Every structure is written in structure tokens, then in C-alpha cells.
Amino acid sequence: MQPFDDSPLARDGKVLILAYDHGLEHGPVDFEGLDGSEDPARTFEAATHPAVTSLAVQKGPAEAYYPSYEDDVDLLLKLNGTSNLWMGEPDSAVNCTVDYAHEIGASSVGFTVYGGSNNEIEMVEEFRDAQEAARHRDLPVVMWSYPRGQGLKNDTSPDTIAYAARQAHELGADVAKVKYPGSQAAMEHAVSMAGKTKVVMSGGSKTTDREFLSSVKSVIDAGGVGLAVGRNVWQREDPTHILDALEAVIFDETSVDEALDRAA
């Protein structure tokens, strides 16, 4: 386990993951808002913005597009995922091995665990294999820690998010990607539960700039190290402005107003 600050995931101890696994998880419907957003090259291009610390994609786009961006993008290979054509108890297919992720140039890996799913036991054991293989390859591990399933009614309650952050720590993730629990206090609670595991907020669906940046700001103020963001970036005509604003809030720790000014 490397010190987090030396990790390829972080820059100055902060994290901005651009996530682009929606083509698998949600399908083409997520690209409807903006023509061209279905083209992975466009998001790889966006990921060259200096604010982006890693680009999270599945194996296919990594194989096809990363070779053209290996000097400018840090690849976070998302090792599991599932289509929403299928609708059973939450689960996720491991569609890439750590060895292969390493072979095609990933500098970190991501893995979803649905705590509380009837498949939790199996997912945690698959995570174990991935986590230990990643340690042997010196690849830091981000857990998409998303409690979900039969027994869980509200999966973004502060208690559930705090448990999600703790579960990621207990199982050996370097970074826990959790949903926003609704307030800065709740995020502080989640961060304190995560021990030395770093916490990033999961971006969620597209919203206004101010609302979005405010929640990011509250994550940073709560001791989180940053953000994993998808649609709020690549669904925009020009992702540069919002990335400029995120850079301000996350890395320069500006106010939301200043960030909005810079990005204007």
C-alpha cells in the first residue's frame, strides 16, 4: 500500500476522477442529451484537462482509445460493471482482470461493491481477489461503495453512506467513492468513518453549476479528497468551464463564487 499522496490517483492529495462507464451501466440513453457524447474519444479529450487526475472507463474504451492518450491521461480501469438490460438483485460482472488492466496501462483500478445486496458475499470475495492482485501490481484501488438491494430502502441516508465509507476502509480500498449524503456534516461523519481510506463523492445526475459545485465544496470542507464525476462534465457542450471550476474548488480550495467566476 503506497502512501496516498504518492499514488497515481492523487495530485496534491486531491482527486478528480472523470467517470465514463455510463455506456455500459445505463446504455445509450445517457448520451441522448448531447450528440457526440457517445464517442469515447471526446471524453478522453476532456480528461486531458489538468484538473482531471484519472479517467475511469471499462476495458473496451480503454483498449481502443487509451493508446492515443497515454501521455496525457491517467487510466483508472473499472473492473466490473453491468448493463441495465438486466434487472435482478444488484450484482456486477467482473469484466476485466487486474493483470490485463495493468497490461493495457491502467495506473489504478475501480470496483463496485453493493453492500447489502444478496450478492454482497460474492462481490466482496471478487473484490478481495482484485484488491490483492492490485497490491501486487502497485495499483491503487477505488471502491464504488454503493449499498443497494433487498434490505435497503434509502441508500443515500447519512447512516448508509457512513457505513459504505467504513466498509470500503475495512475491506482495503484506498479510496471510497460514495453518494453525497445530503449535508457537509453527514459527509464529515462518512469521512471520519473511513479511517485512512480517502473519500470522494460520486457525481450523480446533471444539475446546475452552483448546486453541483456547492456539494463538491462541502465534500472538500468535510475532509473528502474530491470527486468522481461523469455526466456533469461530459454531458456539457464544452466540459472545460466546469473542469476549470472544479479545479478551483478542489485543488485551490476557492469559494464556489470564485470558482464560477474563473470558469465563466
Residues that bind a copy of itself (CB under 8 A): 1, 21, 23-24, 27-29, 31, 38-41, 58-61, 63-65, 81-83, 85-88, 91-97, 100, 115-118, 120-122, 124-125, 127-128, 131-132, 135, 147, 149, 151-152, 159-160, 162-163, 166-173, 189, 192-193, 195-197
114 is catalytic: no
d(CA 18, CA 62): 13
The residue (of 118 and 207) whose beta carbon lies closer to a copy of itself is 118
d(CA 176, CA 190): 10
Q: Which of 177, 179, 198, 217 is catalytic?
A: 177
Q: Which of 225, 216, 130, 220 is closest to 176 using CA atoms?
A: 225
What is the closest distance, in whole angstroms, from the C-beta atom of residue 61 to a copy of itself in the complex? 6
Bridging pattern class, strands 80-81 and 93-94: antiparallel
The residue (of 177 and 217) whose beta carbon lies closer to a copy of itself is 177
Cβ distance 46 to 72 under 8 Å?
no
d(CA 208, CA 104): 36
146 is catalytic: yes
The residue (of 175 and 259) whose beta carbon lies closer to a copy of itself is 175
Q: Which of 114, 146, 163, 180 is catalytic?
A: 146
What is the closest distance, in whole angstroms, from the C-beta atom of residue 96 to a copy of itself in the complex? 6
The residue (of 148 and 217) whose beta carbon lies closer to a copy of itself is 148
What is the closest distance, in whole angstroms, from the C-beta atom of residue 22 to a copy of itself in the complex? 10
Q: Quick one: cell of 96?
A: 476485466
d(CA 28, CA 183): 32
d(CA 222, CA 175): 15
